[in-house]
């Protein structure tokens, strides 16, 4: 994990395609990260080792994706002193609502910034925003990114107007 600013954790390999959205954003902004799998329930020792390694290696933000009971982000937040971003993932009979509520309803003193269900892309953006508070180059990239988003909306509106829609 040396030199990585962000650690992306997910509880299962089946969640990797959803969490890849966070990785894409971090790559786009040139943020160094590692992505791996660990489970609060099935591999608690591995989870603890990853947290300790993150603390000692300079990781500044951890993004955690989990479905169903979704305790992984809370476990990470209880042991990691810096920001934890939780991504509740759609799975099981409740379609991610259970994961959303588990991630959102943390006890006092254990905050987890909770994204929308399957909101890994926004988790990546929030991680970049957190890092940009102490990195002017990253802040400039964020400003350009948001301008690009606004331009895309304008272009779509112009395109729609070509079809006679007002």
Per-residue pLDDT of the chain (166 residues; tens, 9 = 90+): 778 999 999 999 999 999 999 999 999 999 999 999 999 989 999 999 999 999 999 999 999 999 987 789 999 999 999 999 999 999 888 899 999 999 999 999 999 999 999 999 999 999 999 999 999 999 999 999 999 999 999 988 888 877 766 5
Record the pTM: 0.93
**CATH code for residues 6-134:** 3.40.50.1970
Neighbours of 92 (CB within 10 A): 13
What confidence score (pLDDT) does residue 158 get? 85
User: For residue 100, how many C-alpha atoms fall within 13 Å in the half-sphere facing its CB?
Assistant: 12
Q: Residues in the chain, how many?
A: 166
**Nearest to residue 72, comparing CAs of 32, 114, 125?**
114
What confidence score (pLDDT) does residue 69 get? 73
Q: Which residues contact 99 (CB under 8 A, 6 or more apart)?
A: 66, 67, 68, 69, 70, 88, 89, 90, 91, 117
What confidence score (pLDDT) does residue 162 get? 77
Tokens of 86: 């939780």
What confidence score (pLDDT) does residue 166 get? 59
Domain ranges across the chain: 6-134, 136-166
Q: How far is CA 111 from CA 45, 105, 107, 145, 156, in A?
A: 22, 9, 7, 27, 38
């Amino acid at each position: 994990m040396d030199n990585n600013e962000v650690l992306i954790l997910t509880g299962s390999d089946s969640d990797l395609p959803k969490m890849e959205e966070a990785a894409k954003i971090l790559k786009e902004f040139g943020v160094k990260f590692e992505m791996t799998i660990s489970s609060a329930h099935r591999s608690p020792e591995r989870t603890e080792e990853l947290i300790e390694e993150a603390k000692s290696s300079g990781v500044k933000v951890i993004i955690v994706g989990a479905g169903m009971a979704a305790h992984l982000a809370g476990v990470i937040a209880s042991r990691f002193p810096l920001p934890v971003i939780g991504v509740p993932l759609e799975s099981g009979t409740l379609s991610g609502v259970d994961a959303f509520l588990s991630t959102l309803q943390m006890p006092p003193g254990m905050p987890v910034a909770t994204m929308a269900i399957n909101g890994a892309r926004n988790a990546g953006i929030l991680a970049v925003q957190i890092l940009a508070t102490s990195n002017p180059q990253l802040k400039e990239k964020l400003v350009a990114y948001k301008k690009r988003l606004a331009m895309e909306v304008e272009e779509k509106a112009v395109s729609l107007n070509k079809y006679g829609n007002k």
